[in-house]
Structure 1
């Protein structure tokens, strides 16, 4: 196990009707004027936005609103939010939604005190030295952004999708999590969220770091829980306990707990970022396509941990042929993804003829000559994985 520092100060307020505490929580963290950031009309139609506003009013906290955040969030909304926040004297960000909304709010939080272009942080030109505080009301369990200091934004010019990690400043101070708010999610969106949280765990699980049994078992147990509860939610979308377990799994998957002491990989996310940047597909669906392809490649090049995953998570019997075990695990993973309604190749994703040369080119322009850690990927390897995703 490697040396590590684990710091996770977010206050999680979990359960039924917890959104009513939002105003009190914002005031506790010294919010004077909040920016509510949200996506489409669902939180308006459900009455959630009104409940959040009433909670803030009762706590004596002023607010402004920024709506219209789209999936795969892009830079124009960040610039709009920074301008609005400065104009209105906002000192606290309150995203209400899922990962796209939270990531946008984090980017605004970092950009408001900075005199330059917020994109400087994403390309490594500058470091975040201060940021507005962020609190979250989660409605879509998927990205785990409610418990992490990470944010992903796409710059429309050049379709550059990049991530930023600043856990000490961009990790939310609180996250309100009511599983009932997820009842009305379309089955496809629920499934995409499940894939996203599973791959967050896999990025940490597929490591060459030896003797990380505690991290391995945390990863395996959480993955098995997600799979079990996913079957329940598919059968009954209003199963509170299943929704609750999935919602908490999404947080555990990405708040750092599962990766302590490990060298993490993240190649699958970087490969998928290029797909969703170019083709604007849902991130979780793109991951359901790229991860089985990545695992198939790894079954030949470094099968040990893939075989362990197959055995411990999907019950593939042990044998001496690790590649065979690994491929059997990939097959079971693809079957699970298909069962919950996800694509597992480019054609099923709606991309008949992906421009693989472009995807490879953009990946290595953005991430360098080598990508990932489990097996470091050069352009030839990346191209092979994208080609496997066509099958």
Structure 2
């Protein structure tokens, strides 16, 4: 096991009806800006519930955060906060709203230049407005980590940032609020969480037995519960397990002390920035082909994955086990309703060089747990993904 430091200050408040705890968690003298996305929080009544629960606070609203939150929209919120002096942010939604809120929280006190530099140049983020979340779409784990991914449309760039000061103060996770999600969002969330685990698990062995077993438990839960969630959308236990799995998939725990990959994510970000595909759709396209191209380097963990997750016959040859494990991974995504080929989204061979150019422009030329996923490797991966 590798050396590591693990710290996660986010308080999780999990369960049915826990929205009532909001006033106990937000300082009583706060001026709160509620930040949300496309309006589903209004349709479901959640926004009105929050207003009622926080009726003794000064409240404002900012809606319209996109599924891939854009710098252009987020800066409008920054301007509003600076003008109206809001001092606490409440993100109500899924990972995109929470990611966007992290950027807003960091950008408001940043007055030394364009806040985009915090993302593009990885400038240190030393201070941020306090914020919390009410999660409605389990997928990214953003409710319990300090990372975010922001898109700048004008540059066709989708880039990540991290800071010790961009952890949510607390997050409320009530599975009831996921009942009204359309199947597409349920499926995307399961795929997103699955690939988050894979990026931290399917690398090379370092005797991190605890991390491996945690990761495998999360993968097995998603494989078992994901399809049920599509068929039985108001099964509380299923939704609760998926919600908690998505949070644990990216709160830093399973990635501590083990190598991490993230090449699939970096390639996926370029596809989203260029062509607007959902984040999970890009992951479903890239991961099976990435595993295929990198199967020799990842052989030991692929064999472990084949046996522990997919129960593949131990009497098969190692090569057969690996091929079957990759096939089952692709089939799982397809079973969830998330297609796994570029051509499924109307994209062809002409996209490959554009994606490669994007990676080069953003310095993503040596990816993966060993830095061996070069642009030539990505070219092979994308060719297999057509």
Q: CA–CA distance in 2 between the matches of 1:375 and 1:333? A: 24
**Paired residue for 1:384?**
380
Q: Determine whether 1:148 maps to 2:139.
A: no
Equivalence for 2:203: 207
Aligned to 1:361: 357
1:117-136 alignment runs, 5 A limit = 117-124=114-121, 126-136=123-133
Where does structure 1 lack aligned partners over 5 or more consecutive residues? Answer: none
Partner of residue 4, structure 1 = 4
1:274 aligns with 2:270: yes
Q: Distance in 1 between matches of 2:149 and 2:320?
A: 36
CA distance in 2: counterparts of 1:127 and 1:304, whole angstroms: 37
Deviation at 1:125, TM superposition (A): 5.1
Query: Which residue matches 1:37?
Result: 35
Whole-angstrom CA distance in 1 between matches of 2:283 and 2:122: 28
Q: Are positions 1:164 and 2:157 aligned together?
A: no
SS at match of 1:189: helix
CA shift in 2, pair 1:81/1:206, >3 Å: same
Count of residue pairs brought into register by the alignment = 385
Is 1:247 the counterpart of 2:243? The answer is: yes
Equivalences for residues 309-388 of structure 1 within 5 A: 309-319=305-315, 321-374=317-370, 376-388=372-384
8 A Cα contact 2:202 2:298, kept in partner: no
Q: TM-score, normalised by structure 2?
A: 0.96
Q: Corresponding residue for 2:45?
A: 47
Q: Can you list the C-alpha shifts for 1:26-46, whole angstroms capped at 9, x where unaligned?
A: 22xx66111111011211011
Q: Distance in 2 between matches of 1:276 and 1:31?
A: 40
- Per the TM alignment, residue 23 of structure 1 is displaced from its structure 2 partner at its CA by 2.9
Aligned partners of 2:108 and 2:337: how far apart in 1? 40
In the alignment, the residues of structure 2 paired with residue 375 and residue 33 of structure 1 have an alpha-carbon distance, to the nearest angstrom, of 45
Aligned to 1:22: 22
Q: Which residue of 59, 67, 78 corresponds with 1:63?
A: 59
- Name the residue aligned to 2:298: 302
Following the alignment from structure 1 to structure 2, what is the Cα–Cα distance between the partners of residues 84 and 344? 40
RMSD between aligned residues: 1.5
2:47 and 2:328 mapped to 1: Cα distance?
Answer: 40
Q: How many Å separate the matches in 2 of 1:179 and 1:350?
A: 35
Alpha-carbon shift at residue 113 of structure 1 (Å): 0.6
Secondary structure of 1:292's aligned partner? helix
The structural deviation recorded for 1:372 is: 1.7
Q: Structure 2: which 5+ residue stretches go unaligned?
A: none
Contact 1:310–1:316 at 8 Å: present in 2 too?
A: yes
